[in-house]
Structure 1
Amino acid sequence: RVLSGCAIIVRGQPRGGPPPERQINLSNIRTGAMARRAAQGQPDTKDVPDEPWAFQAREFLRKKLIGKEVCFTVEIKTALGREYGMVYLGKDSTGENIAETLVCEGLATVRREVRGNNPEQARLCDLEDQAKASKKGQWSEGSAAHTIRDMKYTIENPRNFVDSLHQKPINAIIEHVRDGGVVRALLLPDHYLVTVMLSGVKCPTFKREADGTESPEPFAAEAKFFTESRLLQRDVQIILESCPNQVILGTILHPNGNITELLLKEGFARCVDWSMAVYSQGAEKLRAAERSAKERKVRIWKDYVAPTANLDQKDKQFVAKVMQIVNADAMVVKLNSGECKTIHLSSIRPRGLKERFEKTKDKDKRFRPLYDIPYMFEAREFLRKKLIGKKVNVTVDYIRAATGPAEGTPVFAERTCATVTIGGINIAEALVSKGLATVIRYRQDDDQRSSHYDELLAAEARAIKNGKGLHSKKEIPIHRVADISGETQKAKQFLPFLQRAGRSEAVVEYVFSGSRLKLYMPKETCLITFLLAGIECPRSSRATPGGMQLAEPFSEEAMLFTKELVLQREVEVEVESMDKAGNFIGWLHIEGVNLSVALVENALSKVHFTAERNGWSQIQGHFGGKPIWANYEEKPVEEFVQLTEEKERVENYRPVYVTEITDTLHFYAQDVETGGQLESLMETMRAEIAAQPPVEGSYSARRGDYCLAKFADGEWYRARVERVESPSKVHVFYIDYGNREVVSTTRLATMPPAFSTRTLPAQATEYTFAFIQVPQDDDARADVVDCIVRDIQNSQCLLNVEYSGVACPHVTIQFSDSKDDVGLGLVKEGLVMVDVRKEKHLQKMVSGSLNIWRYGDFRADDADEFGYRR
């Protein structure tokens, strides 16, 4: 450090810590005294300005010596310990004599009062005479007033001062380093002397004790030396970023780097949340630097243990399918291994979570309902619509230990807290940005937090600024939901209305067993218990007056099947009746799948005798009129295993006509064998309509009804009403061709019984490709759809059913002329990836597709077109 034009501080090479310092005063010369601020707390003292040419002498010496090696000799040591001597630039006395240089430049005067024969003094006197003759420095003509700085030690309004600079870099000189993260800087050219605290970080400090002594925190001296050795009296640029509570926050930029990031990387500092938000150079850089120091366990992180240190890499990051939204910040996911796991979103807290655990007046109920907590329902619905049934990327941030019981607080088991993303979107950040959750504030030494904590804080700041969700000044939304589960009298009042409504929209809130569910009816704003009609599911274990009744075989499998298919999904229900306990009985459909039928198809339920009533045809159509267990013969376990192992892939290709390709890579096809029947029915139907045209507007559309619809070509086709958007707009599905359309009610007519599905079943059957993964990216999926539409839509192909699926059969399809497999062609083109199946009888087919996908034909000239897909 250069104290003035004739005094410097030197230090040796560091060995195991900051080296000792030593002040050297130049012999035989004198320079002007630097400005000094009045002593704090002493009103009698005043600020002392610069003496003429004092700052210029100091600056000359600072630019010449700071950071350089020097050689010095001590000539005189006073009784007070002050040392006077000569300083040479370089490693020995042959270097440049600093005192002589100062005198030559006219920045110092020679002490001529020194007596004795001193050749050094004599040479300095000669040099001074030459400087006077040359009119250099202080010997120049004119006033020296311009060499005196107008020092400003205080700022009247620091916040306005910082805001006025608009975060522009300001040239500055670091005059003093208090600790690793706080400096005193001289702002140029206006000569403001300000204290600047580094934004986003905190270094170990020196605590002042009651007796006036300072006790350093661990690594405080090392952090101060680290900053001093790089910045003290260096020319830097400072970005002033904020001024909370009269403290100026900023970032110091040196040509060799950013000191804030360097302190973090070397383990001399830690990130702090309260000032991280104003850091203008990218908070993620600071987090990355701190993470690097933690991983290397350097300095203040020498005893650091990562929150997920005991987890394998596969347990830290994985892909899973969301099965249930437990709460506004928790969900159940299914891993690839089939295991289900509860995941909590890191570092966020939905509003009202504590209130939900408050005991109500009714002792039988432990928690308040979800709908009673402000914004809890909105948060749950946001997650449900975004995530249910989707695959997400999970990155475990930390595992929160179990908390014991305390007065007024619930008991929490161990929780896995993670960042969940889908399509590159952080779900927790999206939730916070909509004002449906708040960010948890942590202690400074608590590292168990989200890996994207700064993004969460920024999202919360935006939500507060825009008044979103729980930060809004509007009235809190209230949901009045009637729970009529098991309420016989209330259920009787709702029954006629639900029966007349036909298919009604519902959300599956809970699954008690394979065939018993709890539903939320949005339009009716009520909760009901719903029993599947037409089937008899194995019963789960339950408490009875006679004791605990054991679960029937396969009851758990049936419940898991139902959960995976419909839990928290939007479904359609048809209520037919009600039992004595106030539970509604009927049919449940999800994406065209009848849940009763799906359970029977998967051998998880039996057909109940009540299925022979109105709903029997819904199951009967799938089994040719025969109950699934009619010809059942129980086989020994050994024989069953043997049959399973010896099962072969069956090839039974039949001709079909592909009529429609959907955006989800499903397609609809007609059997060629029944094509003649369809053509005959269409001709007869259109002839009858031509003879007796329907009256426009006479048909009243209801969801689920079969009707006739006039297509764009002016012809009439059989259709099913999927949704009534308004009195004039209806969504229909053409049951013989698989396409959908929104039509006016004037283009609809009642379907005559002679042309109903009983006369000829719907001819368009839905299929999807076997052994193929549907691309998640919209553009990639659109490329696949375009390719398939070009190849097989409105053409005859050969189709073979490979295995059943939840929504529709999975098939392979071949071109009728070349017998080439369409799906295999997509794999060869690099448009899709292979969906690996575990069934032994399918391994040959899967292996062939995988080999083509991994090592298939790929020429250099294909790179531009297909290389990115590979």
Structure 2
Amino acid sequence: MASAVAAQVQSNPASAPQLQRGIVKMVLSGCAVIVRGQPRGGPPPERQINLSNIRAGALARRAVQGQTDTKDTPDEPWAFQAREFLRKKVIGKEVCFTVENKTPQGREYGMVYLGKDTSGENIAESLVTEGLATVRREGIRGNNPEQARLCDLEDQAKAAKKGLWTEGGGAHTVRELKYTIENPRNFVDSLHQKPVNAIIEHVRDGCIVRALLLPDYYLVTVMLSGIKCPTFKRDADGSETPEPFSAEAKFFTESRLLQRDVQIILESCPNQVILGTILHPNGNITELLLKEGFARCVDWSMAVYTQGAEKLRAAERSAKEHKVRIWKDYVAPTANLDQKDRQFVAKVMQVVNADAIVVKLNSGEHKTIHLSSIRPPRLEGEVQDKDKRFRPLYDIPYMFEAREFLRKKLIGKKVNVTVDYIRAATSAMETGGVPAFPERTCATVTIGGINIAEALVSKGLATVIRYRQDDDQRSSHYDELLAAEARAIKNGKGLHSKKEVPIHRVADISGETQKAKQFLPFLQRAGRSEAVVEYVFSGSRLKLYMPKETCLITFLLAGIECPRGSRNMPSGMQVAEPYSEEATIFTKELVLQREVEVEVESMDKAGNFIGWLHIEGVNLSVALVDNALSKVHFTAERSSYYKTLLSAEETARQRKEKVSLVEIQHPDVDVFLNTSLKFTDLAGKCDGLHGDVHFFVILICAGTKLESLMESMRGEIAAQPLVEGSFTPRRGDFCIAKFGDGEWYRARIEKVESPAKVHVYYIDYGNREILSSTRLAALSPAFSTRTLPPQATEYTFAFIQVPQDEDARTDAVDSVVRDIQNTQCLLNVEYSGIVCPHVTLQFADSKDDVGLGLVKEGLVMVDVRKEKHLQKMVSDKHAHTSNTRTQIVRVEPLVR
């Protein structure tokens, strides 16, 4: 089809007018139309054509705002009917036209025909025939057959009394236009969101139109609910600057809705702006704008959209995926994630907060997941009681209820996780001094088809985060969250309730010896009590919440000896015993945040309760022993569970699972790989009344790694010499220190008396030394404890007591130094101690027991142990005890 509008040819009275074609965009009145061409890469050109030789009535016009000398003018009789007749006939249709005359002011007059040629219906003739227009008879040219035909048609209309020629003058055809509504909010509410017939009179931009509501002739401005299109920004000088794709969005709406018969659902009226949805027989313009990339969803008006907000989100999502128009540079928040990382099934292990959980993936990895787009309860204002220790779980209103809801709903169950976005880590500088947050994985978590975040919000136990309009990092079900929050607010639930907030008075008696003593008889008489495991310190040490007693206690598992984890001691960091981490993980996965039953038998000196813990019929002490993660303690003999524990231990021995805990064995242990480091500072530490001989060892299997790390570290120091005095020592920091041999070793600072007196501990060899800060330097991350953990492990001899007499203890230490320093030995952990594990040592070549040799020499005595499985070893050592000076010296101080 030729574009008649694009090829603008001046009419020449001397020649026949050229036939041109176009599409009717708008009918201005009964005798004027706007014709546009076909769009080619953007909005097409357009021109106004006035029908030659006829005149129709003028439509109503509103007074210019702010000008007092103008006033509203009403319709002329039959003006609106003429416009409507013409609108229904030609709007949006293809026409052909000729331009017969053009005035000096640029107005063009011509004849318009429906269709592609002049054989179609002549629009002017149709108007005159219906009596909706009059013929301009002044200056009639006799040789113009078209004018003569119009006059004949007008005479026929007069004779038939049609339209303008009916009796009465047509006063009943004048509309009573209403440009304003006194109370628009009540007006919208009165319609009850029922569709209203309307004609779109003007398109401001892609999402704002001026509509004529029928049959009452209200002329209102309607903004499409739920979306926003690019618009035309008005500058200070009054000119307009179009945003990208604003003209295209406007044309998209115009070409489909302008002067069409539609239905409008008026949905809301906030701030005098009427929000609505325009329905056309060919579809919903709101969804079409989104799908074609001409609009984006907006949260503030999405809530009132009655056709289903999920449809709008789906349309916007389609445009984003295809990167059309305003989304041409769009990058999805999870674009860099694999499909398996975007959606997965996992088991919930812990509820960290009211908006975060820890899940276990199929790979065994634990991952923290934050619920997308919600905020947990938070404290408004400051904590009232400054003397009281602030506990967020109990002191923040509804935090406990939110945590409990998630715990009961999720803990130990499998959930579906769909990652919505990854919230990047923030530094303190970015947050204006607020503590930094690590990277967060934010996702929608569902179980049994229920969105957990939505359920939490609907109960008033969380609120929905409000985002900037251009922030795309939000939940994929954000609208459901907003709707759930609206319901919670309406029903006054949880955080939105006007009632007094619930108060949780929970007494924490962990470590409170006096309170624990008072509470002990009550728990002993209670038998089995209900509890919730709040925290797992180690495989056998837990923190429990007793709901009936509303208190927190520290609980130790009875009847077993579980490997200890690493901990800070006065002498430095105590290295974790083998399999302590596995025992802790086992206990966490079995009981953390589960509802359990406990039997309290006794308490220790620190105010910790000791007893048995049951979960779903399983005794946790027995389960740890059965899984070779703990040994039976002699104190279990008087318990009714003793036989069960022994049976479990025997089963574990037969399976030989993790035998290094049932019968802990570390073959090939080398003591002090670096012979230049001295041993003297490591021996003779006192433990209780009698001293123990402590020593440090390095596993041979780790020795090569340590040597490699040392070589690399020293090579880097040689290549980039250190600046003396540039390091400021602080207690607890890791560093490198120059030993007496002139070499650098990894160390930890234990105490800083002054720059000249810094106490350091060599973490890979066990030595301690006091150095000047000039012999210290920062430890490079490449050689940190994350790269290679500290290699020096502290042990002491099992079944041995060292005499209190100083001379006798010195003899024992000297013998140990002489026999095992820098010697390859075999090591076996027999039982745990307060400071470190107790072991037996054998020479690698002769297999002789080092401790037994000390007993035979009379340098030490045998330590009596009550555990039945250790009695044979104790008896063997007693059999070799000789009546020597050591025994005499050892006993003499006790007699005094």
TM-score with structure 1 length normalisation?
A: 0.71
In the alignment, is residue 587 of structure 1 matched against residue 619 of structure 2?
no
In 1, the alpha carbon distance for the partners of 2:625 and 2:421 equals 43
Tell me which of 190, 193, 211 is aligned to 2:216: 190
Deviation at 1:167, TM superposition (A): 0.7
Tell me which of 152, 159, 163 is aligned to 2:189: 163
Q: 2:402 aligns to what?
A: 379
Aligned ranges 1:511-550 → 2 under 5 Å? 511-550=536-575
* Higher alpha-carbon deviation: 272-281 or 623-632: 623-632
Contact 1:607 1:628 in 2 (8 A): no
User: Amino acid of the residue matched to residue 512 of structure 2?
Assistant: E
In 2, the alpha carbon distance for the partners of 1:442 and 1:91 equals 53
Aligned ranges 1:109-188 → 2 under 5 Å? 109-117=134-142, 118-188=144-214
Q: 2:87 aligns to what?
A: 62
Contact 1:597 1:619 in 2 (8 A): no
Q: 1:29 aligns to what?
A: 54
In 2, the alpha carbon distance for the partners of 1:586 and 1:131 equals 108
Q: Deviations over 1:282-314 (max 9, x none)?
A: 111011101110111111111111111111111
Please provide the CA RMSD for this pair: 2.1
Aligned ranges 1:417-432 → 2 under 5 Å? 417-432=442-457
In 2, the alpha carbon distance for the partners of 1:228 and 1:47 equals 26
In the alignment, is residue 48 of structure 1 matched against residue 73 of structure 2?
yes
> What secondary structure, in the 3-state scheme, does the structure 2 residue paired with 1:326 have?
strand
User: Amino acid of the residue matched to residue 124 of structure 1?
Assistant: L
Deviation at 1:623, TM superposition (A): 4.7
In the alignment, is residue 270 of structure 1 matched against residue 296 of structure 2?
yes
Q: Deviations over 1:307-328 (max 9, x none)?
A: 1111111111111110000000
Return 5+ residue gaps in structure 2 as ranges: 1-25, 664-896
In 2, the alpha carbon distance for the partners of 1:576 and 1:105 equals 105
Q: 1:326 aligns to what?
A: 352
How many aligned residue pairs are there? 633
In 1, the alpha carbon distance for the partners of 2:137 and 2:334 equals 72
Deviation at 1:44, TM superposition (A): 2.8
In the alignment, is residue 500 of structure 1 matched against residue 507 of structure 2?
no
Deviation at 1:579, TM superposition (A): 1.1
Distance 1:632 1:571, change over 3 A: closer
User: Amino acid of the residue matched to residue 385 of structure 1?
Assistant: K
Aligned ranges 1:850-865 → 2 under 5 Å? none
Q: Deviations over 1:396-444 (max 9, x none)?
A: 1111111111456232100011111111111111111111110000001
In 2, the alpha carbon distance for the partners of 1:42 and 1:369 equals 62
Distance 1:445 1:360, change over 3 A: farther
In 1, the alpha carbon distance for the partners of 2:385 and 2:588 equals 29
Contact 1:346 1:449 in 2 (8 A): yes
Q: Which has the greater radius of gyration?
A: 2
Contact 1:620 1:626 in 2 (8 A): no
In 1, the alpha carbon distance for the partners of 2:604 and 2:281 equals 80
Aligned ranges 1:721-740 → 2 under 5 Å? none
> What secondary structure, in the 3-state scheme, does the structure 1 residue paired with 2:244 have?
coil
In the alignment, is residue 488 of structure 1 matched against residue 530 of structure 2?
no
User: Amino acid of the residue matched to residue 155 of structure 2?
Assistant: D
Q: 1:349 aligns to what?
A: 375
In the alignment, is residue 389 of structure 1 matched against residue 399 of structure 2?
no
Contact 2:333 2:473 in 1 (8 A): yes
- Moved runs in structure 1, 4+ residues, more than 3 A? 353-356, 358-363, 621-637
Distance 1:518 1:226, change over 3 A: same
Q: Deviations over 1:103-162 (max 9, x none)?
A: 111111111112434332122111211221222221123341111111111111101111
Contact 2:625 2:645 in 1 (8 A): no
Q: 2:865 aligns to what?
A: none
Contact 2:392 2:399 in 1 (8 A): no
In 2, the alpha carbon distance for the partners of 1:411 and 1:509 equals 26
In the alignment, is residue 564 of structure 1 matched against residue 562 of structure 2?
no
Deviation at 1:80, TM superposition (A): 1.0
> What secondary structure, in the 3-state scheme, does the structure 1 residue paired with 2:641 have?
helix
Return 5+ residue gaps in structure 1 as ranges: 641-870
In the alignment, is residue 245 of structure 1 matched against residue 245 of structure 2?
no
Q: Deviations over 1:199-222 (max 9, x none)?
A: 111111111111111111111100
Contact 1:18 1:221 in 2 (8 A): yes
In 2, the alpha carbon distance for the partners of 1:106 and 1:149 equals 18
Distance 1:137 1:250, change over 3 A: same
Deviation at 1:95, TM superposition (A): 1.8
Deviation at 1:631, TM superposition (A): 7.7
User: Amino acid of the residue matched to residue 222 of structure 1?
Assistant: E
Distance 1:39 1:541, change over 3 A: same
Contact 1:507 1:571 in 2 (8 A): yes
Deviation at 1:93, TM superposition (A): 2.2
In 1, the alpha carbon distance for the partners of 2:616 and 2:652 equals 26
Tell me which of 441, 464, 483 is aligned to 1:458: 483
Q: 2:287 aligns to what?
A: 261
User: Amino acid of the residue matched to residue 521 of structure 1?
Assistant: M
Contact 1:600 1:628 in 2 (8 A): no
User: Amino acid of the residue matched to residue 455 of structure 1?
Assistant: E
Tell me which of 198, 212, 218 is aligned to 2:238: 212
In 1, the alpha carbon distance for the partners of 2:655 and 2:210 equals 89
Tell me which of 245, 249, 253 is aligned to 1:227: 253
> What secondary structure, in the 3-state scheme, does the structure 1 residue paired with 2:552 have?
strand
In 2, the alpha carbon distance for the partners of 1:112 and 1:298 equals 55
In the alignment, is residue 554 of structure 1 matched against residue 584 of structure 2?
no
In 1, the alpha carbon distance for the partners of 2:445 and 2:659 equals 46
Distance 1:75 1:289, change over 3 A: same
User: Amino acid of the residue matched to residue 420 of structure 2?
Assistant: D
Distance 1:131 1:472, change over 3 A: same
In 2, the alpha carbon distance for the partners of 1:115 and 1:286 equals 58
Q: Deviations over 1:235-289 (max 9, x none)?
A: 0000111111111110000000000000000011111111111111011101110
Q: Deviations over 1:592-645 (max 9, x none)?
A: 1100000011111100111112x2x314136559856788989999xx9xxxxx
Q: 1:845 aligns to what?
A: none
Aligned ranges 1:664-675 → 2 under 5 Å? none
Deviation at 1:345, TM superposition (A): 0.5
In 2, the alpha carbon distance for the partners of 1:619 and 1:447 equals 60
In the alignment, is residue 13 of structure 1 matched against residue 38 of structure 2?
yes
Q: 2:600 aligns to what?
A: 575
* Higher alpha-carbon deviation: 378-387 or 106-115: 106-115
Q: 1:106 aligns to what?
A: 131
Contact 1:204 1:219 in 2 (8 A): yes
Contact 2:625 2:648 in 1 (8 A): no
Deviation at 1:528, TM superposition (A): 1.0
Distance 1:528 1:122, change over 3 A: same
Tell me which of 423, 438, 443 is aligned to 1:400: 423
Contact 1:154 1:194 in 2 (8 A): yes
Contact 1:538 1:558 in 2 (8 A): yes
User: Amino acid of the residue matched to residue 480 of structure 1?
Assistant: R
> What secondary structure, in the 3-state scheme, does the structure 2 residue paired with 1:114 have?
coil
Contact 1:236 1:252 in 2 (8 A): yes
